[in-house]
Amino acid sequence: MGVSPLVSGYDQLILDLDGCVWIGGEPTPRAVEAIAALRGAGKRIAFVTNNSRLSGEDYVRDLWGIGVQASAGDVVTVGGAMQHLLAETRRGRTAFVIGTEVMLRHVADAGLKVLNGTDLASRSEIVVLGGTDELTYDDLRIASLAVRRGADLLATSRDPTFPKPDGPWPGTGAILAAIEAASGRTGAIVGKPQPQLMLTALDRLGEGRTLVVGDRLDADIAAAAKAGLDAALVLTGTDPPTEAELGELGGQDGARPVAVAPNLGTLVLGEENGAGS
- Cβ-contact 140, 121 below 8 angstroms: no
Q: What dihedral angle (degrees, nearest 10) is formed by the CA atoms of 231, 232, 235, 236?
A: -90
Which residue lies nearer to Mg ion by CB, 51 or 94? 51
Asked if residue 241 has a cis previous peptide bond (ω within 30° of 0), the answer is: no
CB of 163 to Mg ion, least distance (A): 12
Catalytic residue among 16, 74, 159, 253: 16
Interface stretch with Mg ion, choices 8-16, 89-97, 114-122, 264-272 (CB under 5 A):
8-16
Interface stretch with Mg ion, choices 199-207, 212-220, 239-247, 260-268 (CB under 5 A):
212-220
Q: How far, CA to CA in Å, does 107 sit from each of 82, 104, 142, 169?
A: 8, 5, 17, 26
Interface stretch with Mg ion, choices 53-61, 88-96, 144-152, 210-218 (CB under 5 A):
210-218
Cα–Cα distance between 74 and 90 in angstroms, integer?
Answer: 24
CB of 79 to Mg ion, least distance (A): 16
Which residue lies nearer to Mg ion by CB, 139 or 220? 220
Binding to Mg ion by residue 215, rule CB under 5 A?
A: yes
Interface stretch with Mg ion, choices 9-17, 54-62, 137-145, 224-232 (CB under 5 A):
9-17
The residue among 178, 236, 244 whose CA lies nearest residue 15 is 236
CB of 157 to Mg ion, least distance (A): 12
Cα–Cα distance between 212 and 227 in angstroms, integer?
Answer: 10
Tell me whether residue 230 is one of the annotated catalytic residues. no
Task: Tally the C-alpha atoms within 13 A of residue 20's C-alpha that lie toward its C-beta.
Answer: 28
Tell me whether residue 18 is one of the annotated catalytic residues. yes
Q: What are phi and psi of 11, to 5 degrees?
A: -85, -25
Q: Which of 4, 12, 13, 16 binds Mg ion (CB under 5 A)?
A: 16
Which residue lies nearer to Mg ion by CB, 180 or 215? 215
State which residue has the least CB distance to Mg ion. Answer: 19
Which residue lies nearer to Mg ion by CB, 62 or 125? 62
β strands within the chain, DSSP E:
12-16, 22-23, 26-27, 44-49, 75-77, 94-98, 113-114, 126-129, 152-155, 161-162, 169-170, 188-189, 210-214, 230-234, 259-261
State the binding string over 19-58 for Mg ion (x if CB under 5 A, else -). Answer: x---------------------------------------
Supply the residues annotated as catalytic.
16, 18
Which residues bind to Mg ion, rule: CB under 5 A?
16, 18-19, 215
